Amino acid sequence: MEDAELLAALTGGRAPAARIVLCTVVDSAGSVPQKPGARLAVAAGGRIAGTIGGGAIEKLAVETARAMLAEGGCRLLSPHLTRDLGMCCGGRVTVFLQTIEPAETLLLFGAGHIARPLSARAGELGFSVVVVDERAEWASRERFPGAARIEVEPPLDAIDALPFDARTSICVVTHDHRLDQEIVEACLPRPWRYLGVIGSRRKAALLRERLLAKGFPRERVEAIHGPMGLAIGAQTPEEIAISICAELIAVRHAAAAGREQAAPPAPLSLPAGEGQGVG
Give the tens place of pLDDT for each residue, 113-136.
Answer: 999 999 999 999 989 999 999 999
* Backbone angles phi and psi of 167, in degrees to 5: -110, 10
48/255: higher pLDDT: 48
268/11: higher pLDDT: 11
Mean pLDDT of the chain: 83
Q: Average pLDDT, stretch 56-63?
A: 86
pLDDT at residue number 272: 40
pLDDT at residue number 196: 96
pLDDT at residue number 5: 61
74/45: higher pLDDT: 74
Class for the domain spanning 104-259: alpha beta
123 HSE (CA, 13 A, CB side): 17
Long-range contacts of 238-244 (CB under 8 A, 24+ apart): 238/117, 240/114, 240/118, 240/198, 240/272, 240/276, 241/114, 241/117, 241/118, 241/120, 241/121, 242/117, 242/121, 243/272, 243/276, 244/114, 244/118, 244/171, 244/196
Which pTM value belongs to this model? 0.70
What CA–CA distance (Å, rounded) separates 51 from 42? Answer: 10
- Are 172 and 198 contacting, i.e. CB atoms less than 8 angstroms apart? yes
Q: Identify the CA nearest to 21 among candidates 1, 3, 48.
A: 48
Q: Identify the CA nearest to 223 among candidates 253, 246, 193, 255.
A: 193
Long-range contacts of 160-165 (CB under 8 A, 24+ apart): 162/107, 162/130, 162/132, 163/105, 163/107, 163/130, 164/107, 164/190, 164/191, 164/192, 165/105, 165/191, 165/192
Q: Identify the CA nearest to 196 among candidates 132, 108, 105.
A: 108
User: How does pLDDT run across 139-181, given as a tens digit for each residue?
Assistant: 999 999 999 999 999 999 999 999 998 889 999 999 899 999 9
pLDDT at residue 267 tops 70 = no
User: How does pLDDT run across 224-247, given as a tens digit for each residue?
Assistant: 999 999 999 999 999 999 999 999
In Å, what is the CA distance from 102 to each residue of 5, 17, 40? Answer: 11, 5, 17
pLDDT at residue number 129: 95
Q: Identify the CA nearest to 217 among candidates 226, 206, 204, 208.
A: 208
Q: Average pLDDT, stretch 83-88?
A: 63
What CA–CA distance (Å, rounded) separates 219 from 14? Answer: 35
What CA–CA distance (Å, rounded) separates 60 from 72? Answer: 17
Query: Which band of pLDDT confidence, cut at 50, 70 and 90, is reported for residue 44?
Result: confident
**Alpha helices of 90-216 — where are they, by DSSP H?**
115-124, 155-158, 177-187, 201-213
110/51: higher pLDDT: 110
pLDDT at residue 209 tops 80 = yes
What CA–CA distance (Å, rounded) separates 94 from 85? Answer: 13
Q: Where in the chain is the domain with CATH 3.40.50.720?
A: 104-259
- Are 94 and 76 contacting, i.e. CB atoms less than 8 angstroms apart? yes
